[in-house]
Every structure is written in C-alpha cells, then in structure tokens.
Amino acid sequence: MEPIMDVQVFQNQGSANERLWLAVINGAIADWVRGAARYKCKAEYFLFEDEEDFPFVCRSAGLNPESVRESLWMIRAHGVSHSTKNAA
C-alpha cells in the first residue's frame, strides 16, 4: 500500500505553519510599535500580559515565549514604541 501523502509535504507544512505564526507575532509587534492606539493597546496586552494565546503562538512559531518576551522588554526599555509614536 502506497502512502497517501508524501513525508516532504508534512515537513513543508510544518515550516509553513511556523511562518504563519511568526507573521502573527510580527503583526502584533508592528501594531505595538506603530499601530493606531486601539491596535497598539491590544498588541501590548498580547505581547506582555497574555498567558494563554501568546505562549501558544510562540511555540507554534518554534519560539520560546519567555525569550521573546525578554527581547520585547528590552525593546520596551529602550523606548522603541514611544519614539515611533512621537515621530508621527
């Protein structure tokens, strides 16, 4: 009996899924840094406070949620989100 799906298809699907979840994280970061106030607040909550969806999304993207948050806290400490807001 031949396999229905090639193993390579599943491997590619995994990386496609990771890219999809990375896009979700990147979109949230973009909204946090330069989005409209409504989106900025939602993105900030997701990135810094959410304890269910954020870890799931990070793990789905192949990332460690704690490491991502540490990086985001460093960015926040340097005022990146505020400097973009003042430039607008």
35-42: average pLDDT: 95
Exposure pattern of 40-69 as b/e (b: 16+ CB <10 Å)? beebbebbeebeeebbebbeebebebeebb
* Cβ-proximal residues to 84 (8 Å cutoff; 6+ apart), any chain: 33, 34
Q: How confident is the model at residue 13 (pLDDT cuts 50, 70, 90)?
A: low
Instruction: Please give the pLDDT value at position 86.
Output: 47
Q: Which two tokens stand for residue 14?
A: 């995994």
pLDDT tens for residues 46-67? Answer: 999 999 999 999 999 999 999 9
d(CA 28, CA 20): 13
- The CA–CA distances, whole Å, from 4 to 9, 15, 16, 17 equal 11, 20, 20, 21
Q: Write down the pTM of the prediction.
A: 0.72
Residue ranges of domains in the chain? 14-87
11-20 mean pLDDT: 77
